[in-house]
Structure 1
Amino acid sequence: MIPKRIRFYFYLFITFSAVFSCQKNTVIEKKETYNKIKVTRLIALANTSFGENKLDSAFYYYNEALSMSSPSKDPENYISTLNYMAIIQQKYGDYAGSETTLTQGLPYVKFIKDPLLVWTLYTTLGNNFLNTFDNKSAILYYEKTLKLNIETEKKLISKNSIGIALIQSEKFNEALTIFLPLENTKEVIINPKFYGSLLDNIGLCYFKINNNQSGLDYMLKGLAIKKKLQNPDELGKSYLHLAQLYESKNSSLSKKYAILSYKEFSKTNLAEESLTALRVIIKHSSDEEFKTYSESYISLNDSIYITAQRSKNNLSKIKYNSKREKEENLKLKTHRAENELKVERQKNKNIIAYITIVLSLCMILILYYYLTSKANREKIEATYDSETRISKKLHDELANDIYHTMAFAENKNLSQTENKQQLLNHLDAIYSRTKDISKENPAITTENYITSLKEMLSGFSTLHINLILTGLDTIDWSEVDQNKKSTVYRVLQELLVNMRKYSEASLVGISFTKDQKNILINYADNGKGIDTDKIIFKNGLYNVKNRIHKIKGQINISSSPNQGFKVSFKFPLS
């Protein structure tokens, strides 16, 4: 139970905490709320610039929207913004920056309801790893996309990306296990761009495992489809794969396809792919051609580096300026909020003091009345418990003794000196027990316990009731605790009183046995018995059961109508 003084201080602590929380709420009210309309408008501007290929402007607006976004309140817009920013960084070759941007969104993926947003995030991450030759990580994120509830077309893209990562890891046979099942898929066949790219990749895998004929067949099929589409990017890839196929067998044909590849890549400014094509051309060139293509390679390589570096710097500058502006605005807002807060605290200082005093007085009064009422209640409960205990003793001990004495006087010839003396002894015992109850002492204090127990038991033996005792003298009762001896006395007395009142028995048997740890007592009579299924444990039987349990004993009652009444109980010696 918590001490009164500690409870008092606890209540005061709660009071002051409530008061000071009022001051904290003032600060919270100064925080700006999330402006979804403004964020949505910025995202719309960014999307327009992105669609017009104005990537720097798009990145600026996306970054502004991100600085105002709330990932907890609006995770959809937050993840969408990160996806677009990462894609722009990826287009500029800033794969590390793109990965860093997307990593911010990973903790909030679990809150996204639109699986397409998650697919885009995982796919973009996978592409970053693929472009930095971390193929294992790339495959990991591509496989994550396959677990999403997305349309078949997106799953085909993911599977194709896994195959490309396996090619890059030079696991060509594993790549074929991905590509070949897709070859006859309806969704692939009706998509010429995807189908042509797939056939070309299958051809490349066969070429890499030295199955040149199958490789050539698939590459030419893919090329035929791509020629109809006139897509420079895809045509350039097919021509480059054919150049690589003939590189060690037919240098002139390899050079021819490499030149075609270079021309196609040049149409869309695919710089990295153009460099790959130029390397093959230079390998098979000489004299002036070698010099010309080498100069083109060096110039393009320098241009790629400068452009990529400039783009990275521009994007970093956008993020830096946005961050600095945000920090400056935050400082100004914080300074203004602090000034307003000081003014408000000054205004509310007296009010807070009054509230503190009033609440403290109220809590003290409540605590006073609570403790006073509790003390009164405890006094009433103590009085009730005392009265109940005395009442129980009167029933359990004195009433049974009186009934025993009445039964003795009724069935014995009091003209005999022996019976008369025994009656006087019983009355003297009743008187002693009455004093015991008033002094809260145990009722059974007789030093010669066996004699006292025998006298009590024999008092129930009449002309019509035969009482048989066995084993009582075999137990060394000096080893038994006084409380347990008293319990045995009262339990047997209660059973015999019930027998005289209700059972109409003519024969009663009580046996005492002892093992190493327990004393076992069996009671049986040939009375009319009771139905144990309908037995109600109250008054006498309740007292019997309760007494046995208090000395950590066990009791078993068995009886049935007209079959007598049996009780066995045991309790530990120590």
Structure 2
Amino acid sequence: MIKKTFRSFQNKKILKYFLAILFFLMIGCVTYSLKSPINELNNKRKYTKSEIRKILYKADVLFDSYHLDESYNYYNQAQLLCDIDNDYIDYVYALTCMASVEQMQGDFVASEVLLTKTLPHLKKIKKPRFAANVYEQFGANYYYTYDYNNALLYYQKSLHLKISTYRKIVVLNSISQIYLKQGKIKLAESILISLSKIKTIYEKDKYINDYEYARILDDLGLCYDEQGKPEAIEYYKKSLAIQLRLKDNYSLLYSYLHIAEYFQFSNPQKAQHYAKTAYDISSKLNDAPNKLQSLKLLTKTSEGKSLKEYSSKFIQLADSIEKSRKTAKNQFARIKYYSKKDRDENLQYKAEKAKNELQLERQKNRNIISYIILFFTTMFSLFLYCYLTIKGKKEKNDAIFKSEIRISNKLRAELAHDVYQTLTFTENIDLTKEDNKEILLNNLDAIYARTRTISKENSAISTGKNYASALKEMISGFKTPELNILLNGFDLILWDCVEKNKKIILYRILQELFVNMKKHSQATLVSINFKITDKTLTIIYNDNGIGTKNSTPNLKNGLQNVENRIKTINGNIIFDNNSEKGFRLSFTFPL
């Protein structure tokens, strides 16, 4: 009996092992069947390093001739063809060039996203110039978005690398510009004076040497100009003389603008001459931002018909720049989308072909189970891929459409009337009179300020360590001599523990509330209370503006967005309809 029991136990154990081995063999067979076509496909790369670099060479030629759209397309093709484990140098180079194009088009967020993709590969590249290039582009992006602390951080990271003396001088010059923006003028002056004493900046090319030396002199003039020192014009003119000899139109453009700004108050006629020269050069180069700056100086230094002409051109160009930037951004998005789509389709086709060939070779060794599993797995993956692709594309298009409609409505509501009134004013009023001229300039400044406000309302939101200061800065931007804002409990919140998407929603909700208050409330005092109870954040908003007793808030005037946003993070919102004077609401959401 004991022997039979033992044998039975042995048989069950053997059967268990046999089934386990059979199961793992089946899984191994299926896995091999699925993976081997991909491995074979990877071993037979269609594009070699030399072919990828030919594409990069085409992109470089187009970039150097300022055909940015076409060069971006080729850089994108090259980075998609790179095997990042082997071609990481070409991959990093292509991404940094794409980031440079995005930066030149004013899309600093997209540029930063591309640069971030290069960071994991920089340690594998022995040449420090690649890392330096990435850090300097990061610094420039932060500089152009007024985040001077982060800009300084990345320029200093570049400076600590083992780069050439020439490159260190260029970085130091950029750092001096940050100090100027931060008001550290003496520190910027000390750097620029030291650099101006270096006669040989770049030994291998006299043109580059003179170009950088002229740039240093121009920046030193700018530094003295900020301090109101008369020697500024001497450095401007020294720099201009070198640039005229070099015939570098971009450098000349900035020199003429700086000299025009220097003379705009002391000698408007001379300032007008330099601004007109800058305008002609920027028109020749098709440099819209500097063309706009030239027109702004011309409106400040002109009178009569000339003032009317330049003002009209300024408004038209400002509208055109905004439109072209949106078009360029959409164009680059389409290039990336369709390039990825083409690559995925080609890879899918090649994988299917390789898989079929290998299946024929191993057909005798396969059983029915592996075919069934392979068939259903492929069908399910294809269905899931198609479903997610269509859904993602639809959601993305819907989001873009809604965002464009909202921005379009805001521009039409807040700017169209003012622009029309300004144009009507310039047509019917004598602009030779100082009072009328002053009114026109004030109107243009107001339009420019509103445009910047709309841009800031739709800009990216920092959700990192600087989130609390960014939120406070946004709120303080609504403060005026007639309006006081009180924050209670703000500094007690551990903002680092709040999820990224909830930070963005909270930022936008408060922004909507303040915009709505500014338009409709007529309030002179606003208080916001922050408190955490049972892992739930509660925000109570009060103002002493127009009350809502016996009425419901007008959700169509901005508050509808508040309600929609809070629902996306499982929050609740309560409107107080019993306030005789003032407006009050509270909303909560889980942390």
Write the letter of the residue equivalent to 1:219: Y
Q: Between Structure 1 and Structure 2, whose CA radius of gyration is higher?
A: 1
Partner residue in 1 for 2:48: 36
Does residue 55 of the first structure (1) align with residue 87 of the second (2)? no
- Structure 1 residues 46 and 238: CA distance shift in structure 2, 3 A: closer
Partner residue in 2 for 1:292: 309
Write the letter of the residue equivalent to 2:170: I
Does residue 203 of the first structure (1) align with residue 221 of the second (2)? yes
Q: Where does 1:50-449 land on structure 2 (aligned, <5 Å)?
A: 50-188=63-201, 191-210=209-228, 212-333=229-350, 335-336=352-353, 347-349=364-366
Q: Is the 8 A contact 2:288 2:321 kept in 1?
A: yes
Report the CA distance between 1:51 and its aligned residue.
Answer: 4.3
> Where do 5+ consecutive residues of structure 1 fail to align?
354-574
Q: Distance in 2 between matches of 1:99 and 1:158?
A: 19
Report the CA distance between 1:127 and its aligned residue.
Answer: 2.2
- Structure 1 residues 10 and 186: CA distance shift in structure 2, 3 A: farther
Q: TM-score, normalised on structure 1?
A: 0.54
Report the CA distance between 1:321 and its aligned residue.
Answer: 1.0
Report the CA distance between 1:335 and its aligned residue.
Answer: 4.9
Q: Distance in 2 between matches of 1:126 and 1:25?
A: 47
Q: Is the 8 A contact 1:226 1:234 kept in 2?
A: yes
Q: Where does 1:471-510 land on structure 2 (aligned, <5 Å)?
A: none
Q: Is the 8 A contact 2:106 2:325 kept in 1?
A: yes
**What SS does the corresponding residue of 1:104 show, helix, strand or coil?**
helix
Report the CA distance between 1:13 and its aligned residue.
Answer: 6.4
Q: Is the 8 A contact 2:143 2:151 kept in 1?
A: yes
Report the CA distance between 1:291 and its aligned residue.
Answer: 0.5
Q: Distance in 1 between matches of 2:64 and 2:254?
A: 25
> Where do 5+ consecutive residues of structure 2 fail to align?
1-9, 371-591
Q: Distance in 1 between matches of 2:26 and 2:348?
A: 28
Report the CA distance between 1:60 and its aligned residue.
Answer: 1.9
**1:302-323 per-position Cα deviation (integer Å, ceiling 9, x unaligned):** 3323333322222221111112
- Structure 1 residues 24 and 40: CA distance shift in structure 2, 3 A: farther
**1:240-289 per-position Cα deviation (integer Å, ceiling 9, x unaligned):** 22222233333333333322332333332222112112212211222101
Q: Distance in 1 between matches of 2:18 and 2:141?
A: 59
Write the letter of the residue equivalent to 1:207: D
Write the letter of the residue equivalent to 1:30: P
Q: Distance in 2 between matches of 1:124 and 1:258?
A: 29
Q: Distance in 2 between matches of 1:54 and 1:204?
A: 31
Q: Where does 1:510-521 land on structure 2 (aligned, <5 Å)?
A: none
Q: TM-score, normalised on structure 2?
A: 0.53
Q: Distance in 2 between matches of 1:47 and 1:285?
A: 42
Partner residue in 2 for 1:24: 31
Q: Distance in 1 between matches of 2:104 and 2:322?
A: 14
- Structure 1 residues 223 and 49: CA distance shift in structure 2, 3 A: closer
Q: Is the 8 A contact 1:43 1:81 kept in 2?
A: yes
Q: Distance in 2 between matches of 1:143 and 1:240?
A: 29
Q: Where does 1:442-481 land on structure 2 (aligned, <5 Å)?
A: none
Q: Is the 8 A contact 2:33 2:355 kept in 1?
A: no
Q: Is the 8 A contact 2:176 2:191 kept in 1?
A: yes
Write the letter of the residue equivalent to 2:81: M
Q: Distance in 1 between matches of 2:19 and 2:123?
A: 43
Q: Distance in 2 between matches of 1:289 and 1:71?
A: 57
Write the letter of the residue equivalent to 2:37: K
Q: Is the 8 A contact 1:153 1:187 kept in 2?
A: no
Q: Where does 1:493-572 land on structure 2 (aligned, <5 Å)?
A: none
Identical columns (%): 33
- Which region of structure 1 is more displaced relative to structure 2, 100-109 or 343-352? 343-352
**What SS does the corresponding residue of 2:333 show, helix, strand or coil?**
helix
Q: Give the CA RMSD over aligned residues.
A: 3.3
Report the CA distance between 1:117 and its aligned residue.
Answer: 2.2
